[in-house]
Every structure is written in C-alpha cells, then in structure tokens.
Amino acid sequence: MLKIFKYSFFDLIRGKWSLIYFGFFFISSMSLLYISGDVAKVIISLMNIILLLNPLIATIFGVMYFYNSREFSELLLAQPIKRRDIFLGQYLGLSVSLSISFILGLLIPFAIFGIFSTNQVTNAVTLLFVGTILTLIFSAIAFYIALRNENKIKGFGTAIFLWLFFAVIYDGIFLLLLMTFNEYPLEKFALVSMIFNPIDLSRILILLNLDISALMGYTGAVFNQFFGNMLGISISIFVLLIWIVTPIFFFLRSLKKKDF
C-alpha cells in the first residue's frame, strides 16, 4: 500500500491540476490578506470558499482519478496484492496530494503576512484542518460512488449531485422544515440534522472557534447552547472523523464483492 501511495502521490502532485489548485488558494489568500489586512475577515472569506470548493474538487478529482486509473488498478489486481492495499494506496495518494496543495496554498501567504505571530493562529490552523478534513471526506465518498457505478456519466452525475445536495439543497430543505414546523421545539432535530452534513458541521466548527455568534445561524446557535464552545468543538471534530471512516468502511466492504 505504501508503494502504491507513493506512486499515486508523486504522479498527482507533479500534475498541472495540483499546481492550479495550489495557485488558486495562494492567489486568493494573498489577495484577501493584501486588500483587507484584517485576518479575522480574511479567514471568514476563505471559509466560504473552502466549504464550497474543497468538497467539489475532492469529489470531481476522486471520481475522475478512479475511472482513469481503472486499467492500472486491474493490472495491479492481477498481482498478489490485496485489493484493500491497492485502493487505499490510491485514495491516500489522491487525498494527501490535494491536501498538501491546499495547505501550502494557504500556509505560505499566512506565513508571509506574519499571521502565526498574531492571536489568529488557532483560527488559521482550524481553517487548514477543516479544509483537509473535507478533502479526505469527499475523496472517500467519490471513490465509493465511482466503485458503485460502472457508467462514468452516472458516476460523475451522482458525485456532483451529492456535492450540490450537501452544499446547497440540504440547507434549503432544513430551512423549509424550520419554517413549516416553527411552532414545535426543533432544537434536538437541528442537532441531529447537522451531524448528517459535513459541510455544515465544518462551518460551525470554524465559527465556534472564531466565537462569532451572529454568523452561526440557527443550528450553530443551538449547537453552542447545548454543548458550549470547547465541548462543541470537540464533538464537531469527532463527528468529522467519523465522516472520514464511514465512506471508507462502505468502500472496502463493497470492494470485496466487486468483480473487476
């Protein structure tokens, strides 16, 4: 698995898309830091970009990489190598390469502007952590979708719809339910529903760390009210880690039954 991971990682990190991904975050963060000068506002602006872009890129790249490396995977499957080692190595190669491009794209501008000598270090680290976690989650989901769908068009369509569901549709449905049943106590329902959306959970994790109650919205306010700041941050991190493990578990289980 380590050898496959190294091959996949170095193959992807040298590609033009990794450089474009790095360049986008580098230019965006440099521009925002230069124009604004207020690190807290820059972190909020980058949060909105990361919560939408990182899941989308991880999903599309994950599906595309799985389909494009299918012949190579079949060649490896003909060797005495476990299926788990092959696909976990490829998943780690993809997710780690995307994560490094993202981290360097933000870390270098932050270091240039001396953010790590200010009181915003924790917020910057939280932003990097959330972006990396979302990359790991949606890369795993993309691999599972591609494994379950032989048809590339169906696989890409499912992946894009899933991203759109978590990023936009989920919140719309939730707000519609809140408006419809506003006469009932919905605090516990809000807490449970938030757990099933890693993007919302990541947003609340950042806002809890920034302690900006005005931007938390209903779910964030309820989350903070029930658990408080530090406990809420710990629970958010724990649930996000479960979100990484769950699609990998289902992917490996489906992999055993898959006929290549």
pLDDT of residue 228: 57
How far, in Å, CA of 154 to CA of 181, rounded?
Answer: 36
Q: Where are the domains of the chain?
A: 2-257
Contact 39, 111 (CB under 8 A): no
At 183, is the secondary structure helix, strand, or coil? Answer: coil
Evaluate the CA torsion angle 233, 237, 242, 243 in order and state its sign: positive
Angstrom CA distances, 250 to 70, 74, 76, 124, 140, stand at 19, 20, 22, 32, 10
Structure confidence at residue 260 as a pLDDT band (50, 70, 90): low
Contact 244, 72 (CB under 8 A): no
Contact 231, 247 (CB under 8 A): no
R_g of the chain, CA atoms, integer Å = 19
Q: Is the pLDDT of residue 150 over 70?
A: yes
pLDDT of residue 138: 95
Q: Taking the model in full, what pTM does it have?
A: 0.90
How far, in Å, CA of 260 to CA of 257, rounded?
Answer: 10
Q: What is the mean pLDDT of the chain?
A: 84
Beta strands in the chain (DSSP E): none
Contact 93, 4 (CB under 8 A): yes
